[in-house]
């Protein structure tokens, strides 16, 4: 196995009229050996272009790519010892499952015994031993994707590249194959770079996430580090479903001057006294963006007493999901989304309710730069 290093990688395409279309801009990224790194971001952010440059399917405009200690920037794909699993399964329709798995090995003229051993090992890992004689047309979508992954496994490359391999599957099958890919990584102890726009895949599968926007790297780190300590409002808003609430307001000193109170701008109803924290005093009388995740404030239950972290809101919509309720609120200046741990009766919609924020979980962002304020 091997690490992958991207050093100041840039990819610029040319339009029909010769105009420059930037896809990836000065991207530097370290993918440690045996790690599972997810390139995450919306369509058009440069994640697939990055993967294709690592695979050698796209040339670099500038920068370098190293696999291990070898500079592969100008090597053809066949000399990089990587394998790529695409969104479309790309199976040979006239070959059986076993023949699809073996095809790449036969092209490389490996001994027949070695090919048979690798095919059966991959089939056992993926649980497809019973379909080795079937043709691709007789397989479900999930089975076809397993075969596509198996074709990569038999190669035994130094690096596996996955380009949104689960996006064509239904929700239940995606969840099942996510778990299988995690187990696969644990078993093979290989280096995986995985592209997706699905934050659930990124959060659950990756040992680390590299979040891209418009071809630039916004933040990289462990999934929960990005979730709890986002660098900016883009990272904070992209991770999490429902996404983080942002409330514009000002921090004012309380009457005794030792505490701060956040007040929503525009006459909204959100007014929260903050828990003591280091250096928060320097933000007094400044306008900021307050970041509040949907699970970090809850409706007051009957018998609970309001406190300085409680604010009123008008409950517009309740979406019961079984284990929790998703509540859409109006505070006067903002629409907020709350993920309540309690089941809220849909008949409460249209009424005023009280909500309590967990002030230890609040995040502050600069209104000019959108960067998090520590």
What is the CATH classification number for the domain harbouring 205? 3.40.50.300
pLDDT at 255 > cutoff 80: no
Helix, strand, coil fractions of the chain, as percent rounded to 5: 30, 35, 35
Instruction: Give the β-pairing of 36-40 and 208-213.
Output: parallel
Report the C-alpha gap between 345 and 330 in whole angstroms: 18
pLDDT at 322 > cutoff 90: no
Q: Is the pTM of this model over 0.85?
A: yes
Identify the domain boundary among 238, 266, 285.
238
330: β partners: 314, 335
Q: What domain range is 285 assigned to?
A: 245-373
State percent of the chain over pLDDT 90. 68
Looking at the structure, tell me whether residues 200 and 290 fall in a common domain.
no
Looking at the structure, tell me whether residues 169 and 265 fall in a common domain.
no
pLDDT at 169 > cutoff 90: no
Looking at the structure, tell me whether residues 191 and 264 fall in a common domain.
no
217: β partners: 212
Looking at the structure, tell me whether residues 25 and 141 fall in a common domain.
yes
pLDDT, tens digit, 9 for 90 and up, residues 3-61: 999 999 999 999 888 899 999 999 999 999 999 999 999 999 999 999 999 999 999 99
What does the pLDDT average to over 56-77? 96
Q: What is the pLDDT of residue 141?
A: 86
Report the C-alpha gap between 179 and 205 in whole angstroms: 8
pLDDT at 258 > cutoff 80: no
Burial of 94 (0-12, 13-18, 19+ CB in 10 A): exposed
Q: What is the pLDDT of residue 277?
A: 64
Residue 369 per-residue DSSP state: T
Identify the domain boundary among 238, 258, 293.
238
State percent of the chain over pLDDT 70. 97
Report the C-alpha gap between 29 and 42 in whole angstroms: 19
Looking at the structure, tell me whether residues 219 and 333 fall in a common domain.
no
Q: Which residue has the higher pLDDT, 259 or 315?
A: 315
Looking at the structure, tell me whether residues 66 and 198 fall in a common domain.
yes
Report the C-alpha gap between 207 and 284 in whole angstroms: 38
Looking at the structure, tell me whether residues 301 and 284 fall in a common domain.
yes
pLDDT, mean over the chain: 91
Identify the domain boundary among 238, 272, 302.
238
Q: What is the pLDDT of residue 232?
A: 98
Looking at the structure, tell me whether residues 257 and 324 fall in a common domain.
yes
The listed range with the strongest mean pLDDT (214-223, 300-309, 318-327) is 214-223
Q: Sign of dihedral through CA atoms 164, 168, 171, 173? A: negative
Looking at the structure, tell me whether residues 65 and 213 fall in a common domain.
yes
pLDDT at 372 > cutoff 60: yes
Looking at the structure, tell me whether residues 254 and 344 fall in a common domain.
yes
Token couple for 290: 């307050």
CATH of the domain at 320: 2.40.50.140
What does the pLDDT average to over 72-76? 96
pLDDT at 278 > cutoff 60: no
Burial of 282 (0-12, 13-18, 19+ CB in 10 A): exposed
pLDDT, tens digit, 9 for 90 and up, residues 346-362: 888 889 999 999 999 99
3-state secondary structure of 231: coil
Looking at the structure, tell me whether residues 136 and 49 fall in a common domain.
yes
Q: What is the pLDDT of residue 194?
A: 97
Quick one: angle between helices 97-107 and 141-153, nearest 10?
20
Q: How confident is the model at residue 286 (pLDDT cuts 50, 70, 90)?
A: confident
pLDDT, tens digit, 9 for 90 and up, residues 189-199: 899 999 999 99
- Establish whether the linkage from the previous residue to 242 is cis, with ω within 30° of 0: yes
Domain count, the chain: 2
Q: Which of 143, 123, 242 lies closest to 184, judged by CA?
A: 123
Looking at the structure, tell me whether residues 221 and 88 fall in a common domain.
yes
């Amino acid at each position: 196995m091997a690490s992958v290093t991207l050093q100041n990688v840039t990819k610029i395409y040319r339009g029909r009229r010769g105009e420059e279309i930037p896809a990836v801009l000065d991207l530097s990224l370290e993918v440690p050996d045996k790690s599972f790194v997810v390139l995450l971001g919306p369509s058009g952010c440069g994640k697939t272009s990055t993967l294709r440059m690592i695979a050698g399917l796209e040339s670099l405009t500038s920068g370098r790519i190293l696999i291990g200690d070898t500079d592969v920037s100008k090597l053809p794909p066949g000399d990089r010892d990587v394998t790529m699993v695409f969104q479309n399964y790309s199976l040979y329709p006239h070959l059986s499952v076993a023949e699809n798995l073996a095809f790449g090995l036969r092209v490389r003229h490996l001994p027949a015994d070695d090919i048979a051993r690798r095919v059966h090992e991959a089939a056992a890992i993926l649980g497809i031993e019973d379909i080795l004689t079937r043709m691709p047309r007789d397989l479900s979508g999930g089975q076809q994707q397993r075969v596509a992954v198996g074709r990569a496994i038999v190669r035994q490359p130094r690096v596996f590249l996955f380009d949104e391999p689960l996006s064509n599957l239904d929700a239940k099958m995606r969840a099942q194959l996510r778990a299988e890919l995690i187990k696969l990584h644990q078993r093979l102890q290989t280096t995986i770079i995985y592209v997706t726009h699905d934050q659930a895949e990124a959060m659950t599968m990756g040992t680390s996430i590299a979040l891209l926007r418009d071809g630039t790297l916004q933040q990289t780190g462990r999934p929960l580090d990005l979730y709890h300590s986002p660098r900016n409002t883009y990272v904070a808003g992209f991770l999490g479903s429902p996404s983080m609430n942002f409330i514009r307001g000002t921090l004012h000193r309380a009457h005794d001057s030792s505490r701060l109170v956040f007040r929503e701008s525009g006459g909204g109803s959100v007014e929260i006294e903050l828990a003591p924290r280091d250096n928060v005093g320097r933000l007094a009388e400044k306008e900021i963006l307050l970041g509040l995740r949907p699970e970090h404030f809850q409706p007051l239950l009957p018998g609970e007493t309001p406190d300085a972290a409680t604010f009123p809101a008008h409950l517009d919509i309740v979406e019961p999901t079984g284990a929790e309720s998703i509540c859409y609120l109006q505070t006067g200046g903002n629409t907020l989304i709350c993920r309540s741990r309690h089941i809220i009766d849909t008949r409460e919609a249209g009424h005023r309710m009280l909500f309590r924020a967990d002030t230890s979980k609040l995040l502050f962002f600069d209104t000019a730069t959108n960067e998090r304020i520590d």
